[in-house]
Amino acid sequence: MFPKTPIAWLCAALFASSASYAATPAAAPLDPVLGADSSSYTRTEARVAVMPVLGINDEDFPLEPLAAGQGDLWERIRKGFSIQEMSSPLVSKHTAAYAARPEAFERLGLRASRYLFYVVQELEKRGMPTELALLPVIESGFNPNAYSHAKAAGMWQFIPSTGLRYNLKQNAFRDERRDVVASTNAALSYLQQLHDMFGDWQLALAAYNWGEGSVRKAINRARAAGKGTDYISLSAYMPAETRNYFPKLQAVKNIVALPSQHQIRLPEIDDQPYFTSVKKTRDIDIKLAAELAEMPLEEFKALNPQFNRPVITGSADTQILLPHFNAERFKANLSTWTRTLSSWTSLKISAARERIETIATRFKTTPQIIRDANAIPPNMQPTAGSTLIVPKTSIEAAEIGADIADNAVLGLVSEGGARRGARAGSRESRSKPSTRARRTAAR
């Protein structure tokens, strides 16, 4: 189990559900709420207008712009509110709790500012209520690295099975449950499907948290008892987490609707894209990508948290997200880069017990570098069939490539002989499933 961080603790305590979250080892937040070194990277840089990138002919890295609106994004969100209001003691309780921590709420809003425009834009394209853009406040505190004991990951907290159901790749090299664009699109598709199923956004949200099967059973029980089937009527059959789920969203909506009434100052968010996507077909080290984009590594990771390894493998569907100003710098710097883009290649383990120490010697590195790059815990060794990344020993070494990355698994065995099953990614929790895990098995 990965260690908890201040960000995970505060998000879980203040703005998320009862699940506990842990950030990835690579994320070392400097701000206890924002999760990045905001002093070294300002929104002023991100608000620079998109300008044509001239004199660069690099088809591997085309710049994909996003449409922009005008004015204040919070006002745009308010105008799209359309879910039926809920007024209840639970809503009042949660509204008061959030309002009691104005500084934390404001900093959470600043972290959300990286992602909100894209979420709102996609909701409007689908004709969906813009309150849903606030749902990650409840799910993850807008932390795309959030990971629960139920093995739910990302801003939208997909468990592995539902992630696969909505075509979110989960392999040793990337976990698209943490991908800002892919997970948002999957979450909105799932929420729309739930709304189509129940005909009510409040019940759709109950199902998102509790599972559609559980909501159906609750509706059947209520009908059999001659009771209503709205959210409040069904609350008697819900677990505490689900009973509080929509009231929490309503509470956040109340604050966003009238922040001054609750003594909250929402951070300014212009109604324009924070990031653009840059497609790529070649492997590139994450650290080098951040350097070419002239941005702090932690900010790069905040926009691209889906990558499990220190290298981004190139493929036709791989994209990285960059603020517009940094995307332009990335293109310009890439056009003059003459050295290799990636310092890693792949190695498939064929021997039953090929030790990391032996591999390190062969590739002229240290065992710890191999362990760190592949997220292999101490006293564990890879099993036959596992795919590792190892340092390139020559400039001719092969790139990893999409086929290898998409099918890579990592099986581990303890040095004492106990085997751990093959796993696709690097963030598998070793704790028992929580109550949330059992409740959201359908999610």
Radius of gyration of the chain measured on its C-alpha atoms: 23
- Write the DSSP assignment of 381-423 as a string of letters: EEPTT-EEEEE-SSTTPPP--HHHHHH--EEEEETTS-EEEEE
Q: In angstroms, what CA-CA distances link 329 with 53, 290, 303, 324?
A: 9, 10, 16, 9
Beta-carbon-side half-sphere exposure of residue 139 (alpha carbons within 13 Å): 31
Query: How many whole angstroms separate alpha carbon 351 and alpha carbon 87?
Result: 63
Beta-carbon-side half-sphere exposure of residue 65 (alpha carbons within 13 Å): 10
- Backbone torsions φ then ψ of 307, nearest 5 degrees: -85, 125
Closest CA to 238 of 90, 370, 118, 41: 90
- Write the DSSP assignment of 348-394 as a string of letters: E--STT--HHHHHHHTTS-HHHHHHHHTPPTTEEEPTT-EEEEE-SS
Q: In angstroms, what CA-CA distances link 267 with 29, 111, 270?
A: 20, 10, 10
Cα 229 to its chain centre, rounded Å, is: 33
Indicate left, alpha or beta for 342 from its phi (over 0: left) and psi (-120 to 50: alpha): beta
User: Is residue 139 annotated as part of the catalytic site, yes or no?
Assistant: yes
Helix residue ranges, H only, 37-141: 43-46, 73-79, 89-99, 102-112, 116-126, 135-139
Residue of 45, 75, 139, 399 marked catalytic: 139
**Tokens coding 367:** 């065992």
Do 105 and 98 form a contact (C-beta atoms < 8 A)?
yes
* DSSP state at residue 310: S
**Tokens coding 404:** 């290898």
Is 92 exposed, middle or buried, given 0-12, 13-18 or 19+ CB atoms closer than 10 A? Answer: middle
Query: How many whole angstroms separate alpha carbon 168 and alpha carbon 161?
Result: 10
Report the residue count for the chain.
443
- Known catalytic residues? 139
